[in-house]
């Protein structure tokens, strides 16, 4: 089995050193909601740099874009009629550094129908974005097979800076997925992309953050 290399130190947030940072973003075991100009309150001795990423979520209707954002700590899931922006703070400790950082993640979610109908929405979602998350559902084989067409529709030749991440949602543990690791050749254009799977929205951002170390 190939050795796994992590950009962020797994489990650090639940360690004694990471606990004060975790406490700054939760209240009564629920993620705190921060306003546009707010940020987690930390004592001066624990102050850390903030690293901001804009992440654009793309995928056909029903694959779980809005549910993924809600699971990560956003508002209750509903289908956005336009662009919905959710800001999350995520403390972490890079493996290549002895100092933690505070990730500020701006998650841009826009309904697939709205993107097709209104031409100005896609450029707004991609403007100054750091990464595009392309979602498919393990219970919907078509959503996986359509990924190359989706990426072709979303990405332009002028977007080489965008990090591409493919995220599989709704993995049916105990059931039979429509998309399997050994169940066929990945669609053209996806062979060099890693695929991150989720169990009914249970995911980890360790693999979604670009390795800048």
Please provide the DSSP assignment of 12-80 as one string.
Answer: GGGSTTTHHHHHTTEETTEEPP--TT------GGG---EEEEEEEEE--TTSSHHHHHHHHT-SSP---
**The domain spanning residue 161 has which CATH number?**
3.40.50.300
Q: Classify residue 158: in a domain, yes or no.
A: yes
* Structural contact between residues 69 and 110, judged by C-beta atoms closer than 8 angstroms: no
Name the average pLDDT for the chain. Answer: 79
Query: Is position 101 within any domain?
Result: yes
- Does some domain include residue 86? yes
3-class DSSP assignment, residue 149: helix
Instruction: Give residue 97's domain range.
Output: 12-29+47-207
pLDDT in tens, 33-75: 787 788 899 999 999 999 999 999 998 888 888 888 888 876 6
Q: What is the pLDDT of residues 161-187, one digit of tens each?
A: 889 999 888 876 665 556 665 544 455
Please tell me the total count of domains within the chain.
1
72 assigned to some structural domain: yes
Domain membership of residue 35 (yes or no) is no
Number of CB atoms found within 10 A of residue 48's CB: 15
Q: Do you know the residue count of the chain?
A: 213
Is 20 domain-assigned? Answer: yes
Question: Residue 189 pLDDT more than 80?
Answer: no
pTM: 0.78
For residue 103, being part of any structural domain is answered with yes
């Amino acid at each position: 089995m190939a050795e796994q290399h992590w950009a962020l130190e797994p489990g650090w947030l639940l360690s004694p050193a990471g606990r004060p940072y975790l406490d700054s973003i939760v209240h009564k075991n629920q993620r705190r909601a921060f306003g546009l100009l707010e940020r987690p309150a930390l004592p001066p001795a624990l102050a850390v740099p903030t690293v901001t990423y804009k992440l654009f979520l793309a995928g056909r209707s029903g694959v779980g874009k809005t549910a993924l954002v809600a699971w990560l700590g956003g508002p209750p899931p509903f289908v956005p009629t336009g662009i919905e922006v959710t800001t999350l703070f995520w403390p972490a400790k890079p493996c290549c550094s002895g100092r933690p950082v505070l990730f500020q993640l701006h998650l841009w979610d826009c309904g697939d129908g709205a993107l097709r109908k209104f031409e100005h929405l896609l450029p707004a979602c991609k403007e100054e974005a750091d990464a595009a998350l392309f979602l498919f559902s393990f219970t919907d084989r078509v959503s996986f097979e359509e990924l190359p067409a989706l990426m072709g529709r979303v990405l332009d030749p002028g977007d080489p800076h965008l990090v591409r991440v493919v995220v599989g949602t709704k993995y049916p543990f105990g059931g039979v997925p429509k998309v399997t690791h050994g169940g066929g050749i990945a669609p053209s254009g996806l062979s060099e992309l890693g695929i991150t799977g989720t169990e009914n929205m249970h995911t980890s951002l360790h693999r979604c953050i670009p390795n800048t170390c």
